[in-house]
Amino acid sequence: MEKKIIKIVAKVWIVIMCIVIGSRAYYLSIIKKPLRNINGSEKIAITSGDTINSVINKLNKEGKIKNSFFVRLYMKLNPADISLKKSEIKISADMSLDELLLAIDQAEPAEDAGVARVTIPEGKTLEEIGAILEEKGVITKKNFIESCQKYELPSYIKKDSSRKYALEGFLFPDTYDFIKGSNGNAIIKVMLNNFEKRIQEVRANSSIELKDEDIDAIITIASIIEGEVQVAEERALVSSVFANRLKKGMPLQSDPTVQYALGVHKEKLSLADYKVDSLYNTYANSGLPIGPISNPGKASIEAALNPVETDYLYFCARNDGSHEFNVTLEKHNEAVRKYQSN
């Protein structure tokens, strides 16, 4: 009798072990390839308010999950901090569960039909920003410019009717999400708030005090640096040239200021261009131009506030986007003949 019981128990145990081993093998196969009924690859939408469980439920209802129980079991045993955002992801039948979860977590946010993601590059003018906003369907260039002209200026922006645009220089270049059809004042406020935030960061990272009354001049210098520099490492050197020339009462003689005064970009300026009658023209006028000539980024603002100490008074553009820096006019003229003779 005892032998019979032992045999029965042994058989039951073997059956249990087979079930456990089989279940584990099946579980691992589900984790390795949890998806089915997908030809090649498909896109699925993740909407606002979705959770990871609701996404799995959605796929399961569509018949694309082989076994939702094992999928949820794996997720419970291996909790992950997955961030869901309105997006669209691509799935394929050969994805593992880890790959599926990673795709959901790393999905790029989808652009809402009523929201435009707008990138404003460093060194763009107010008018160019208006054109970018219009292209993205946020606001017309005309309405944006009109809003800028009527906007009540913060105390750190110099009020001078001689300036083309008072807000030039202070619309911080960055990537923004704007509602299409936005009011101009709302757009300006967002960009100015960002500018003020970046100025606080510049202050925190600099040993030189930046007072509110000095912001306008620093942004003016930064905007010229932005127009001159293509090689990032040269920003502080160009800043030092401008600082040295200002100390000596020399005109800055910066081509980008002439371009701004003309209102058009020219590959090569003529002698007449350098004589254009404008308070922005730093060939015809000593000191800083009447105001900023573009909207500079943080790196150029930091360079304007923290020029390196040099004796340089001149720089000449090479043909690769970099510059040669010199102390004397004689050496500068040699560089001009070398790089700009054609």
Position 238 confidence tier, pLDDT thresholds 50, 70, 90: very high
User: Is the separation of the CB atoms in 261 and 281 below 8 Å?
Assistant: yes
How many residues in total does the chain contain? 342
Determine whether 50 is exposed, middle or buried from the number of CB atoms within 10 Å of its CB (0-12, 13-18, 19+): middle
Q: Is the model's pLDDT at 339 over the cut of 90?
A: no
Per-residue tokens: 41: 């690859």
Bridge partners (DSSP) of residue 124 are: 295
Q: Is the model's pLDDT at 289 over the cut of 80?
A: yes
Q: Is the model's pLDDT at 84 over the cut of 90?
A: no
145-193 confidence digits (pLDDT tens): 999 999 999 999 999 999 999 999 999 999 999 988 989 999 999 999 9
pTM comes to 0.68
296-335 confidence digits (pLDDT tens): 999 999 999 999 999 999 998 888 889 989 999 999 999 8
pLDDT top residue among 5 and 316: 316
**Residue 101: its pLDDT value, please?**
83
User: Is the separation of the CB atoms in 326 and 308 below 8 Å?
Assistant: no
**Residue 195: its pLDDT value, please?**
95
Share of the chain above pLDDT 70, in %: 90
User: Is the separation of the CB atoms in 139 and 181 below 8 Å?
Assistant: yes
87-131 confidence digits (pLDDT tens): 777 888 888 888 888 888 777 666 565 788 999 999 999 999 999
Position 266 confidence tier, pLDDT thresholds 50, 70, 90: confident
Q: Is the model's pLDDT at 2 over the cut of 90?
A: no
In whole angstroms, give the CA distance from residue 208 to residue 217. 14
pLDDT top residue among 49 and 337: 337
Q: Is the model's pLDDT at 3 over the cut of 70?
A: no
Give the residue from 257, 255, 260, 220 showing the smallest Cα distance to 239: 220
